[in-house]
Amino acid sequence: MAATTVRARGTSRFPYLLVLPAVLLFAGFVAAPGGYALVLSFQRRKVNGGLLGGGTHTVFAGLANYRDVLGDSALWSGVVRMLALGAITVPGTVLLALLFAVLLDLEGARLRRPARLARLTIFLPYAVPGVIASLMWGFLYLPATSPIGGDHVDFFGRVAVYFSVGNVVVWGAVGFNMIVIHTALRALPPELHESARLDGASEWQIVLRIKVPLVMPAVVMCTLFSVLAALQVFNEPNTLKPLSNALSSTWVPLMDIYDEAFGNSDIHSAAATSVVLAAAALAVSFATARLVQSRIPQEAE
């Protein structure tokens, strides 16, 4: 009996030891920065008047920073551009990924060589950083170096620029999402479509009426990942910026935050914008996860 208690006590301490690193990291690099940003967002730097001159000190500012952030037209234009870009990248990524996954699935359980190579090639851009991808596509867009007609088409035109930036995002994301959906398709029991085939359903009917509805959870997960990526888009427009004047330094919200923190050295405004963006992102992703039956809450039970 005594032995059990000792063991139980040993056991009861061990799980805390296991989770300790993660808890410390969470506290240090998620909770603390979040809290600190919150504190900074309620403060403001004030220039000292009078004889001392020049110096500044920090004062409590209440909601003034938030009022400024929400009234900042540059940020709102950034939000609109982010939404426009997301309207291209989210459906673009998910639909192309779904298409490729279905095509792979049509190839059957054992992929032949061309299909296997295609799957790998479509997946590879996942390992290419957004910055590098933007450099590659950037030179493809640039009139002086473009092999795809950049001297005839303005890839950085008023509307075209969204598709140019969106293309880089989609290029990098399609492969990963394709794999996620293809994995789900492969996990479906073969009896399902075999009986449908016996009933005379065509391959495409089987795909559209049976398979796609059954892998909806995977598609939803891909949509969620793509929405999250769209909210934090930064690398692609920021890297393409030196190549074109069409992209301003506040083109999307995250660039705006960066510009406030490092361009204007206004950390209080940057902190307030960060808080607003994080809260909005969290709300959108929670809503997306909730709205459609996502697999994350399902497995949380």
Partner 1 sequence: MTTVTGTSAPALRREAATPVTRGRAAVLPTTALVLGALYCLVPTLWILVAATKSRTRLFSTDTYVPSLDLGLVHNVRDLSGYQGGIFWRWMLNSFFYATVGGVLASLVSAATGYALAKYAFRGRTLLFNTILAGVLLPQIVLAVPQYLLLSKAGLTDSRFGVLLPQLFNPYGIYLCRIYARAAVPDSLLEAGRIDGAGEARLFVSVGLRLMGPGLVTVFLLQFIAIWNNFLLPYVMLTSDDKFPLTVGLYSLLRHGAAEASLYSLVITGTLLSVLPVIALFLSLQRFWRIDLVTGALK
Contacts (CB under 8 A) with partner 1, residues 253-272: 254, 257-258, 261-262, 267, 270-271
- 12 part of the interface to partner 1, by CB under 8 A: yes
Q: What is the number of alpha carbons within 13 Å of residue 25 lying toward its C-beta?
A: 5
CB of 3 to partner 1, least distance (A): 10
Tokens for 299?
Answer: 């497995």
Contact pick of 72, 123, 153, 154 for partner 1 (by CB under 8 A)? 123
Tokens for 67?
Answer: 């009022």
Name the one range near partner 1 by CB under 8 A: 23-31, 45-53, 66-74, 154-162: 23-31
Lookup result for tokens 């001392």: 52
Name the one range near partner 1 by CB under 8 A: 43-51, 55-63, 86-94, 182-190: 182-190
C-beta of 67 vs 197, nearer to partner 1: 197
Name the one range near partner 1 by CB under 8 A: 76-84, 94-102, 153-161, 188-196: 94-102
* Cα–Cα dist 161/109, whole Å: 40
DSSP 143: T
Contacts (CB under 8 A) with partner 1, residues 124-153: 124-133, 135-137, 139-140, 144-147
C-beta of 161 vs 168, nearer to partner 1: 168
Which residues, 6 or more positions from 166, have their beta carbon under 8 angstroms from its beta carbon?
85, 88, 89, 92
Tokens for 33?
Answer: 């920065």
Instruction: Count Cβ atoms within 10 A of the Cβ of residue 258 and give its class: 0-12 exposed, 13-18 middle, 19 or more buried.
Output: middle
- 69 part of the interface to partner 1, by CB under 8 A: no
